Structure 1
Amino acid sequence: MQAMVLAAGFGTRLLPYTRAIPKVLFPILGKPALLLTLERLERLGFRRVAINLHHLPERIVSALKAADLKIETSLFFEKEILLTGGALKGAATFLCQEEATVIINGDIFFGDLDFNHLLKEHFATGCLVTMVVKRGGGNDNLLVERGKVRALRVQGTHTFCGIQVISPKLIDHLPPGPSDLIDTYQRLAPDGLLAAYETKAYICDFGTRESYLKLHEDLLYRRVHLETEPNLATPLVCLSPIQGVELRDWTFVDQQVVIGPGTLIRRSVVWPGAEIAPRAKVEETIVPPSLIFMP
């Protein structure tokens, strides 16, 4: 099996954090999201993966070099951002190596999704694309009828989950240069070329601060399982030495964090290297490194 992770985006919904770190490297329980995804794909039997890069590519390359990954990776650098459709066109040499490729948005965390069954259903339909969807997913802008996506960007029945399977022939339908994949799908949908794979698996788009924090809440309360998670006996996790600090609800404080006494931290994620001044009140936020968080 092969996959492609879309990792070139600017992450504008996560500004100002993404000015210094690409969203695919946001830590999930302390591990960069992209590395977490690659490790999970490897365990699921994927043999190779493509990654497209544009925004802060050197940070991603450095993280990949430092990781102990056995899965084969192919990097596709974009001088100008090619958007989702252009990214697939730019990686055509990789995508055409097998009958189908799983495409995963870089800001997606997936739970117990059965990729073998997903691929089996994709081949059974004979469609160019199979989109993983949820009913009532919160942004129902797909119209699904009898297992096919009939319209997109409408007031519909399902939400796209950021994971899909494509056949190599899709490349022939993509225009050269930058393009939005959804524009192409809107042309293909009336011909019944888009299949819908409905799932109840846990899938989280952590592309906003709110959804990133919600993902941590779900992980820390064990609503979703993470194979490589540390031994978390409580939803209040602090991997740095603290004294006189109050943690409430759920909290994840990573290593190498300095926190002044009298501080309250609640429903927040604190990244390595962060500094929090004494008597600060930190609630429902992300605290990045190189920032002294004042009360």
Structure 2
Amino acid sequence: MTGTPKSAQAMVLAAGLGKRMRPITDNMPKPLVPVAGKPMLDHVLDKLAASGFDQAVVNCHYLGQMIVDHVATRAAPMVITSPEADLLETGGGVKKALPMLDRDAILIANADVFWTEGRDALFDRMISAFDPDHMDALLAIHPVADGYGYDGAGDFFWQVDGRLKRRGEAASAPYFFTGVQVLSPRLFENTPDGAFSLNVIYDKALACGRCYGLVHDGGYFHIGTPEAVSESEPVIAKALEIERSKQATSGGK
């Protein structure tokens, strides 16, 4: 590629420590743990490529050079790495990468999540649904009842107008956050320097009624431990078979 690369439209968060995935992550960062035949990070990057993203930022910290080396030869999307000498958490990691990212809206996905597509690709749906006139944040959410391996109490209530409300003091909420989102960079104004969580960003958007949700209509797999990897493999294989069948029937769309 010649000339100065344009700003990336997407970012993949790959700097976590992966402690729950030990001992696999003793010698490998969690985003490179293989699931369904390839590293989780590659599943996300391949989905970005399929949705037309030609460039993405990937941050890294724990065993970060392995991630830098792994993505070095990718062309679709071309990857710009954002190494973190000190772990900056999700919010700090995105803020550090802002100079490399689009000024209007950024699609962000965790590197260690796995999902199968619904009727349309999740990234396509997110980009189409994001309305900067009314939204500062659009979070992809999934029904708690249908999340394979998810055993939490849920994160959000999805209101009739599409806005999100946190679970708060409620015993449970019907939807959990998938780790896929579109954010306005202006949310990072007046945020802390150094490490902080993206929850700071969500709270800003929620407070002004500009945090919306989009319900993912495909499969979602929570893979947090070595046991979950092996237990989920046959279920994922079946889900991918169904996904490929649907794509073939619809002409690849």
Q: Which stretches in structure 1 are left out of the alignment for 5+ residues?
A: 228-295
**Residue 85 of structure 1: aligned partner:** 91
1:45-124 to 2 correspondences below 5 Å: 45-65=52-72, 67-95=73-101, 97-112=102-117, 113-123=121-131
- In the TM superposition, residue 94 of structure 1 has moved relative to its aligned partner by 2.1
Q: Say yes or no: does 1:205 pair with 2:222.
A: yes
Q: What do residues 262-289 of structure 1 show as CA deviations (whole Å, max 9, x unaligned)?
A: xxxxxxxxxxxxxxxxxxxxxxxxxxxx
**Residue 195 of structure 2: aligned partner:** 178
The correspondence for 2:164, drawn from 149, 169, 179, is 149
Relative to its length, the structure with more helix (as a share) is: 2
- Structure 1 residues 153 and 47 mapped into 2: Cα distance closer, same or farther (>3 Å)? farther
> Distance in 2 between the 1:153 and 1:177 partners?
27
- In the TM superposition, residue 107 of structure 1 has moved relative to its aligned partner by 0.7
| SS of residue in 2 equivalent to 1:123 | coil
Q: What do residues 23-68 of structure 1 show as CA deviations (whole Å, max 9, x unaligned)?
A: 1001123322212322232122111111111000111122223x45
Q: Which amino acid is 1:141 matched to?
A: D
| SS of residue in 2 equivalent to 1:201 | coil
| SS of residue in 2 equivalent to 1:85 | helix
What RMSD over aligned residues (CA atoms) do the two structures have, in Å?
2.2
- Structure 1 residues 121 and 68 mapped into 2: Cα distance closer, same or farther (>3 Å)? closer
> Distance in 2 between the 1:104 and 1:164 partners?
6
> Distance in 2 between the 1:173 and 1:120 partners?
28
Q: Which moved more, 1:103-112 or 1:30-39?
A: 30-39
> Distance in 1 between the 2:168 and 2:223 partners?
21
> Distance in 2 between the 1:61 and 1:217 partners?
30
- In the TM superposition, residue 14 of structure 1 has moved relative to its aligned partner by 0.5
| SS of residue in 1 equivalent to 2:180 | strand
- In the TM superposition, residue 123 of structure 1 has moved relative to its aligned partner by 1.5
Q: Which amino acid is 2:57 matched to?
A: A
The correspondence for 1:188, drawn from 186, 190, 205, is 205
Q: Say yes or no: does 1:131 pair with 2:139.
A: yes
- In the TM superposition, residue 198 of structure 1 has moved relative to its aligned partner by 1.2
> Distance in 1 between the 2:195 and 2:90 partners?
8
Identity, in percent, stands at: 27
- Structure 1 residues 121 and 159 mapped into 2: Cα distance closer, same or farther (>3 Å)? same
**Residue 260 of structure 1: aligned partner:** none
- Structure 1 residues 70 and 124 mapped into 2: Cα distance closer, same or farther (>3 Å)? closer
| SS of residue in 2 equivalent to 1:70 | coil
Q: What do residues 176-203 of structure 1 show as CA deviations (whole Å, max 9, x unaligned)?
A: 1100111332343132121111122122
Tell me if structure 2 keeps the 8 A contact 1:152–1:182.
no
- Structure 1 residues 150 and 68 mapped into 2: Cα distance closer, same or farther (>3 Å)? closer
Q: Which moved more, 1:80-89 or 1:182-191?
A: 182-191
- In the TM superposition, residue 70 of structure 1 has moved relative to its aligned partner by 3.2
> Distance in 1 between the 2:17 and 2:87 partners?
9
Number of residue pairs the alignment of both structures matches: 224
Q: What do residues 146-180 of structure 1 show as CA deviations (whole Å, max 9, x unaligned)?
A: 31112255532311111111112122153211001
> Distance in 2 between the 1:179 and 1:16 partners?
27
Q: TM-score, normalization: structure 2?
A: 0.80
Q: Which amino acid is 1:189 matched to?
A: L
The structure showing larger relative contact order (alpha-carbon pairs under 8 Å, at least 6 residues apart) is 2
Q: Which amino acid is 2:52 matched to?
A: G
> Distance in 1 between the 2:220 and 2:51 partners?
16
The correspondence for 1:163, drawn from 180, 183, 191, is 180
